[in-house]
Amino acid sequence: MDYCEGGHVNDYQYFIKNGISTMEISSKLGELYSEMIFTHGYVHCDPHPGNILVRKTPKNGIEVSLLDHGLYTVSRRLNLRTCSLAAFSLTLSISLY
């Protein structure tokens, strides 16, 4: 078990105080969950704000830490269906513009 420092993902005052961009947090969370689900086939079962910490890194980036890993494996078949649904949704949203 590791000790993780940072502010909870819903602590806007922490972000302001530490110069952390909410757009960067949103981007990192999207990348994190997309890779976790679509690449590795895992889902974090308890992703409430108390289990997601954000901190500024020494090189002025940000680091997102997931706590309380209630992970389970998504079946390959479900994973492929989820990817297909995501691709369809993206295609549909692009065609609407």
What is the residue type of 19? G
Contacts 24+ apart (CB under 8 A), 28-34: 28/62, 28/64, 29/64, 32/64, 32/66
Q: Is 68 a catalytic residue?
A: no
Task: Write down the catalytic residue from 2, 11, 46, 68.
Answer: 46
Q: Which residues carry out catalysis?
A: 46
